[in-house]
Chains A and B, each alone.
Chain A
Amino acid sequence: MTVLLDLGHVSKFFPAGGRNQLARLRRRLSGGPEKLPKVYAVDNVSFVINKGETVGLVGESGCGKSTLVRALTRLLDVSDGSIKLGARELALKPARVFARDRDRARIQMVFQDAGDSINPRFTAFDAIADPLRRLRRARGKALKEQVEAAASQCGLPPVLLSRFPHQLSGGQRARVGIARAIAVKPDLLVLDEPTAALDVSVQVVILRLLQQLKRELSMSYLFVSHDLSVVRLLCDRVLVMYLGKIVESGPARAVFDRPWHPYTQALVAAVPRFGGEAMERLRLKGEPRSPIDPDPNVCRFYGRCPISASDCKTRAPALRRFGSRYVACHFAEEFVVERIKSGP
């Protein structure tokens, strides 16, 4: 397996609270620290994406997956850490100027709300042509051919190319978003909840299309979603995030069929399954801990976790390896023991 993208100790902080003079003065007067409190949106995240792989990224709102995605697609700068594409270190170039970088075409993204991600004043043709014009310098006849090729690869008939987004159905808009992303033949395609806004019947078609495109264009996928059933079907590996950290990762089927981390267990248990009876429910109490200046010695899941032992608030668990599974929990061994007991 060759590595395509390698994230090493990536962190992203945002200042919380006021940065202006008044807020600083207020802080100083109340005796608090002068330093800005920070929201740890992404905290020390490391993982790789291999060529030809589909990696899933799941987590709920506030877990930092959107921030992580924007960091690795270079729409946002990281506060710390490295993003290596092949041999090249991308974090060195600021996000502000990355748009004109020679490697810009290698990482592309399909957005969740296709309607929002296409300029309402652009036709479908304009939308798909934009990256070709900017990144491949295509013009005139060559441009038209490439746009039509991308459109037909995504099952979009040429007659729809002159339409505006509001004249297209949800499924058609999704195809335009995909066509735009693949037109420049990226190595890595990040899919941010691409089917969330679609009906179930359209979703099937789009997922099949994505599968097919991946083979045809030899791409790797990072599939970000909160819909675990879809991730289970589409992804080879999955990463589970909670409050800025990766809490579990491993082969997709295995993680969903036998989750080890208590949060993953709660997540999987909460997914509605056919046939009524869900897994034994782990009800998560209360609200997530504050992401502002979290105590580095306390597990982020402490308090909400049904285990929440004294160890959990004195020592934050590191991501430990168990074969192909990585889990950040002091009590992960209990699951390993269980597995050995019950056989492979």
Chain B
Amino acid sequence: MTGSLALCVDRLSVEFRTRSGLVRALDNVTFSVRKGETIALVGESGSGKSVTAYAIMGILDPAGRVTSGQAMFDEIDLLSASPKQLAAIRGRRIAMIFQNPRSALNPIRPVGRQIADVLMRHRELPTRAARLQAIEMLRAVGITDPARRASAYPFELSGGMCQRVMIAIALAAKPSLLIADEPTTGLDVTTQAVIMDLIADLATELGMATIFITHDLALASQRAARIVVMHAGHVVENAPTTELFVQPRHPYTAELIAATPDSAANLDDLAAIAGSLPDLRRPDLPACRYLERCSRKTEQCAQTLPQAVLGPEHIVACWNPIPVQAPLKRAIGAP
């Protein structure tokens, strides 16, 4: 089974040292991505989804520290790899794109050069060939008049175009895994659709695995084959997309779906999620961090957290998951 996995994250835990205490940002996060698969890491702010990506890529804030766990990529543990090994992987075999395209690009370097830099570094192309290839990549990501745009600076391009450039930079070395951290937040919805289409097309073409990080559940449902739901630094549910939406098993997943406007016919049908995120600096956090907001809690929830396997692909971190027979308040995805 390992042979077909692009990335396997096992019991990843991350802590941050802050002035007000130690924040246990991630606790035993486990999930994997198969080769060519597209998954989504979904959660609200504070869920730890971006921290997970940053930890995998080794670009955590200096105040952060990986306290346990592995991230296996091609037989190498990214979390304990040497700088030399990481340099050979990052940008070449794993690529990442970020939320704010204009600020993620170098503002004083023409975009064509930024793509060429990657080609020269990771594909070892000579300068001239790299420049030409960069223009081709701009064309491949759907930028019109690529030869002229290659000498444009990021501030001269729209948000959508900058995001395309970032995709071109990320995909220049033909990586086998792409991590996309909220790539379309802040873009218009029509631009978002086009960018997501582009990523999907390129992923298929390159046989690339993709991890989407997003807070938009509806977007994740449309683009990912599998969804990993996170809450307060824990993975609470991990299931194929249709299964997750037709029958969510973790109470948080169900509440999250019920709070998304798209799922409701009327405002009154929208359900708010009770309570709020626990303070991750507390030393007395219960084993299940959803405990204080949960309507299905049991005795065991404060002591340990299970990894209940409910199906061949469906994992839930819950002692009392929603039973399969209970009908949903409304059918999701019904026309």
Contacts and interface: CB of A to CB of B under 8 A. Distances in A.
Interface residues of B, number: 43
Given A226-B188, A234-B267, A273 B259 contact: no
A286 B217 contact: no
A230 interface: yes
A287 B156 CA distance: 14
B270 A274 contact: no
Interface stretch (B13-21, B84-92, B190-198, B315-323): B190-198
Contact of A275 (B44, B197, B216, B332): B332
Contacts of B264: 233
Nearest to A59: B188
A10 B319 CA distance: 60
A272 B267 contact: no
Interface centre among A201, A205, A230, A281 (most CB of B within 10 A): A201
Given A201-B44, A270-B190, A232 B272 contact: no
Interface in A246-281: 266-267, 269-276, 278, 281
Contacts of B144: 286-287
Contact of A274 (B191, B266, B332): B332
A272 B215 contact: no
A162 interface: no
Contact of A199 (B45, B192, B332): B45
B260 interface: yes
Nearest to A63: B188
B23 interface: no
A211 interface: yes
A229 B266 CA distance: 11
Contact of A276 (B189, B241, B261): B241
Contacts of A227: 261
B219 interface: yes
Contacts of B22: none
A270 B242 contact: no
A23 B129 CA distance: 40
Contacts of B256: 200-201
B192 A287 contact: no
A146 interface: no
B268 to A, nearest CB: 8
A199 B261 contact: no
B100 interface: no
Contact of B222 (A200, A229, A278, A283): A278
Contacts of B260: 200, 229, 274
Q: Give 4 closest A-B pairs by Cβ, nearest first.
A: A275-B333, A270-B193, A60-B188, A201-B273
Given A169-B276, A270-B190, A286-B144, 13 more contacts: A60-B191, A199-B45, A200-B260, A201-B256, A204-B270, A226-B189, A274-B221, A274-B257, A274-B262, A276-B222, A276-B241, A283-B193, A284-B194
10 contacts: A201-B44, A201-B256, A201-B259, A208-B267, A234-B267, A270-B190, A272-B219, A273-B218, A275-B245, A276-B221
